[in-house]
Amino acid sequence: MYRRTLVQAVCRHSVRLYHRTVVHHNTTKQTVTKAKIPDRFVQAVIDIVGNDNVSTTDAIREQHGHDESYHATSPPDIVAFAENTVHVSRVAKLCNDNEVPLIPFGTGTGMEGGINALKGGLCLNLSKMKKIVSVNAEDFDCTVEAGVTRLTLNNYLRDTGLTFPIDPGADASLCGMCATSASGTNAVRYGTMRENVLNMEVVLPDGRIIYTAGKGRRTKKTSAGYNLTNLFVGSEGTLGIITQATIRLHGIPEATISAVCSFNNVQEAVDSTVQILQMGIPIARIEFLDEVSVDASNRYSKLDMKVAPSLFFEFTGSPDTLDKQAEVVKEITFLNGGSDFKWASDHQERNRLWKARHDMLYACMALKPGKKPYSTDVCVPISNLPEVIMRSNEVIQQAGAIDAFMVGHVGDGNIHSLFLFDTENKKEVELVQGLAETIATIAMELDGTCTGEHGIGMGKRGLLQQEIGETGMEVMRQLKRTFDPKGIMNPGKVIFE
């Protein structure tokens, strides 16, 4: 539903380019909002980005009105493609002058409805900003434009011996990853986007351009003033548009081996994880899959893993240190009841294993065609991992009839409970939302967060309030008003305005 006509907002201003007429028509799946944009506004956008970079067709608007989450599509009124920072700056100023909502779009792989245009407006697709601006191999950093994806960058770096290891599975844009503070399977070794962004070029809603660490700076350390970089990392398009990011690169390890180990129950797997981390073994990845996830993965990715709670490991380093690490890990898992420890040192075999892990969402979805997934994303201190998993499992068991899977980047204390459900079935929707809220509350009781990597988006704003507290939220609202006094940036996300 269209919640607030833009006309109300625009009428307060003398420049009235934008004005919206709305027609609703139902499909079986969702209400599609059809918008009519005044020609003058469309023309003003075309004047900035060119005719080929603007669309108001239903198909393109629909495509830009949802991400990979279950949230119903909310299409923007107009989609514009920026080719450079000047385009972004001028479009932002135009939207700001006319109080038109502005939603940055990376690749649309988000999991929390971050790009849904809840109040219509202009979606700014950044995928045409594809330049890899610089690679400073000797300093282990590079600067990329907003549309460069992580796989594109890693292909480009192939011959340098360097890599950008932050890996959310999907081939997301690197600036989108900055915006959601993404991480994934490699965070246990390399950290998240927060630890890997050195500087960003950001366009503010009024069109001004800032560099969060100062223009051209790319130091590993800085104590210079407020940390604007980490204010924009995780801001989910609500404060400004990230047009370039300077990020850290890492050397490709000399050797890598992977392994899978299965357990009799979840507790054994989780206890092994905690002990491995507490021993300070510099492991590169530890991923947990419960029994149903392993089964889904076997079917989808044609694997033959034992159907049991399992851990996937990756070890990196020099060949002799790898063997030592792996032996200690094997011993810990055996002492905890683990069995079927299988190595995958061959490059192809390893890739097959990790591809299967990254395809887990689709493997689960393939079991119930037509159902949509929702994945919780809680994260707790590692010593509380066993408790959050056990208590989450209990509430899921008590809830009964819902398809549920559990996977996680357990090395970081980050666990996903994945539910498959019918988004047209009110009871199922309420059940999943209730479970997600309960699991997040359990995590918060255990000193954790409601989101380790997916972000707040549109659905977790209440949980953020619970997590941060009222005074903290007021400071966040003040920050939002400072950067975006007219509230045009991605309205309806992260905070209640």
- Interface residues toward ligand FAD, by CB under 6 A: 67-68, 103-111, 114-115, 126, 146, 168-170, 172-173, 175-177, 179-180, 182-184, 236-237, 241-242, 361, 453-454, 490, 493
171 SS3 class:
coil
Which one, 268 or 467, has the nearer CB to ligand FAD? 467
- The two three-digit tokens of residue 313, written as one number: 């490991």
The Cα-based distances of 65 to 110, 216, 430, 433 in angstroms read: 12, 35, 23, 21
| Beta carbon nearer to ligand FAD, 126 or 247 | 126
Q: Which CB sits closer to ligand FAD, 37 or 365? A: 365
Q: Which residue, 286 or 322, is less far from ligand FAD as judged by CB?
A: 286
Beta strands 141-145; 403-409: pairing state: unpaired
C-beta of 181: minimal distance to ligand FAD in Å?
Answer: 8
φ/ψ region of 465 (left if φ > 0, alpha if ψ in -120 to 50, else beta) reads: alpha
Q: Phi, psi at residue 133, to the nearest 5°? A: -70, -45
Q: Would you list the DSSP string of 282-338?
A: --SEEEEE-HHHHHHHHHHHT----SS-EEEEEEEE-HHHHHHHHHHHHHHHHHTT-
Q: Which C-beta is closer to ligand FAD: that of 182 or that of 261?
A: 182
Nearest residue relative to ligand FAD (C-beta): 176
Separation of alpha carbons 212 and 226, rounded Å: 9
| Least gap, CB of 401 to ligand FAD (angstroms) | 25
Residue placing its CB nearer to ligand FAD in the complex, 332 or 464 = 464
Least spacing, CB of residue 153 vs ligand FAD, in Å: 13
Q: Minimum Å distance from CB 64 to ligand FAD?
A: 9
HSE-CB for 430 with a 13 A CA cutoff:
3
Provide, rounded to whole angstroms, the least separation between the CB of residue 171 and ligand FAD. 8
Interatomic CA distance for residues 219 and 27, integer angstroms: 52
Say which residues have a Cβ less than 8 Å from residue 443's Cβ, sequence separation at least 6: 378, 379, 380, 388, 449, 450
- Alpha-carbon span 179 to 146, nearest angstrom: 10
Phi and psi at 118, nearest 5°, equal -65, -25
**Which of 110, 491 has the CB closer to ligand FAD?**
110
Task: Find the shortest distance in angstroms from Cβ 408 to ligand FAD.
Answer: 10
Contacts of 151 (CB under 8 A, 6+ apart): 171
Q: Which residue, 236 or 271, is less far from ligand FAD as judged by CB?
A: 236
Shortest distance (Å) from residue 360 CB to ligand FAD = 8
CA 71 to chain CA centroid, nearest Å: 15
Q: Which lies closer to ligand FAD via its Cβ, residue 68 or residue 437? A: 68
C-alpha distances in Å from residue 329, one per residue of 142, 204, 413 = 35, 48, 18
Q: Which is nearer to ligand FAD, 109 or 333 (CB)?
A: 109
Find the helix or strand (DSSP H, E) in which 408 lies: strand 403-409
State in angstroms the smallest separation of the CB of 281 from ligand FAD.
22
Cross-strand pairs, 22:
35
CB of 70 to ligand FAD, least distance (A): 12
Nearer to ligand FAD, 338 or 491 (CB): 491
Minimum distance, C-beta of residue 35 to ligand FAD, in the bound complex (Å): 19
End-to-end CA distance of the chain: 18
298 burial (CB, 10 Å; 0-12 / 13-18 / 19+) is middle
What minimum distance in Å lies between the beta carbon of 291 and ligand FAD? 21
CB of 397 to ligand FAD, least distance (A): 25
What is the number of other CB atoms lying within 10 angstroms of the CB of residue 349? 12
Which is closer to ligand FAD, CB of 322 or CB of 415?
A: 415
Helix (H) or strand (E) holding 20: none
DSSP letters for 362-376: HHHHHHSTTPEEEE-
Q: Measured from the CB of residue 318, what is the shortest distance to ligand FAD in angstroms? A: 28
How far apart are the C-alpha atoms of 15 and 456, rounded to whole Å?
Answer: 33
Closest CA to 189 of 252, 98, 117, 108: 252
Q: Which residues pair with 77 in a beta bridge?
A: none
Nearer of residues 114 and 205 to ligand FAD, judged by Cβ: 114
